[in-house]
C-alpha cells in the first residue's frame, strides 16, 4: 500500500471532510444590536447595477427569504417602510483558492472585484463556461444586502453570503447560487453581528 506524506494525507483528509459536509457559505452580518421591527420592504439594485429581468429574478429569491423572516416584500415606489439594496457579484479566480476581498460594515457598503480572473456583476458572464472550467478555477458568488429605513435612509442592517464553487460544477451559476446564498444570509435574522459564520447551503 502506498503511503501519502503527512502533509498530503492531511490535505486529503480536509478535502474529504469538506466534500462530506457539503457546500457552505461564509456569512457576515452587521447591525446595531437593536430589534428590527418587521414591516414592508422593497428591493433595489446597488448603485450602478442594472435593474432588468435578471435582477428581478434574483430579487424574487431574496424576497422569498425576507418573507420567511416576517418582512412583507412590496414593489418599489409603494411606500415601503424599508429599502433593501441588493448587490450580487460573481468572480472567477484562477490559482490558490481564496475569496475575493470584501469591505462591509455599518456605514460603509462595498464589494470589490475578484482575483486573477476578474469579476462580473449582473448581466455579465464568467470568462470560464459553466461545466467546462479549469481544474484550478473557482467561482466566488456573493449576495450582499443592506436594509435602510425608507424615511431617512439610515442603515440598520447589512450582510453578505459568499460561496466558492468549482467552475466545472453544474452548480456554478448565479441562478442556482442566489437562492441558497439568500437563505444562508437571512436565516435567523438579524443574526450575530461582526462575526463570520460558516453556514451550510441548502
State the pairing for strand pair 24-31/155-166.
Answer: antiparallel
Residues 101-112 have a mean pLDDT of: 43
Give the model's pLDDT for residue 149: 97
Secondary structure in 3-state letters for 15-74: HHHHHHHCCEEEEEEEECCCCCCCCEEEEEECCCCCCCHHHHHHHHHHHHHHHHCCCEEC
pLDDT, position 66: 98
- Cα 25 to Cα 185: distance, rounded to the nearest angstrom: 9
Alpha-helical regions (H) of the chain: 6-21, 53-68, 174-186
Contact 109, 150 (CB under 8 A): no
Contact at 8 Å (CB) between 24 and 201? yes
pLDDT in tens, 151-185: 999 999 999 999 998 888 777 788 889 999 999 99
pTM metric for this prediction: 0.74
Average pLDDT, the chain: 77
CB-CB contact of 146 with 107 (8 Å): no
User: CATH classification of 23-200 is 2.60.40, yes or no?
Assistant: no
* Between residues 174 and 99, the one the model is more confident about: 174
Residue 134: band (very low, low, confident or very high) from pLDDT cuts 50, 70, 90? low
Compute how many other C-beta atoms are within 10 angstroms of the C-beta atom of residue 135: 8
Amino acid at each position: 500500500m502506498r503511503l501519502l506524506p503527512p502533509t498530503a494525507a492531511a490535505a486529503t483528509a480536509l478535502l474529504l471532510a469538506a466534500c462530506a459536509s457539503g457546500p457552505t457559505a461564509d456569512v457576515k452580518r452587521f447591525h446595531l444590536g437593536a430589534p428590527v421591527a418587521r414591516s414592508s420592504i422593497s428591493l433595489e439594485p446597488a448603485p450602478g447595477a442594472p435593474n432588468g429581468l435578471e435582477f428581478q429574478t434574483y430579487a424574487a429569491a431574496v424576497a422569498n427569504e425576507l418573507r420567511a423572516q416576517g418582512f412583507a416584500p412590496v414593489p418599489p415606489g409603494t411606500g415601503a417602510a424599508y429599502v433593501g439594496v441588493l448587490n450580487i457579484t460573481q468572480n472567477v479566480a484562477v490559482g490558490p483558492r481564496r475569496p475575493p476581498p470584501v469591505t462591509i460594515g455599518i456605514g460603509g457598503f462595498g464589494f470589490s472585484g475578484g482575483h486573477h480572473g476578474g469579476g462580473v456583476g449582473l448581466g455579465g458572464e464568467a470568462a470560464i463556461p459553466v461545466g467546462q472550467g479549469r481544474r484550478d478555477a473557482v467561482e466566488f458568488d456573493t449576495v450582499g444586502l443592506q436594509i435602510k429605513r425608507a424615511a431617512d435612509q439610515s442603515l440598520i442592517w447589512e450582510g453578505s453570503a459568499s460561496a466558492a464553487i468549482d467552475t466545472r460544477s453544474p452548480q456554478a451559476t448565479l441562478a442556482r447560487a442566489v437562492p441558497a446564498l439568500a437563505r444562508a444570509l437571512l436565516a435567523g435574522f438579524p443574526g450575530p453581528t461582526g462575526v463570520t459564520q460558516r453556514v451550510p447551503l441548502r
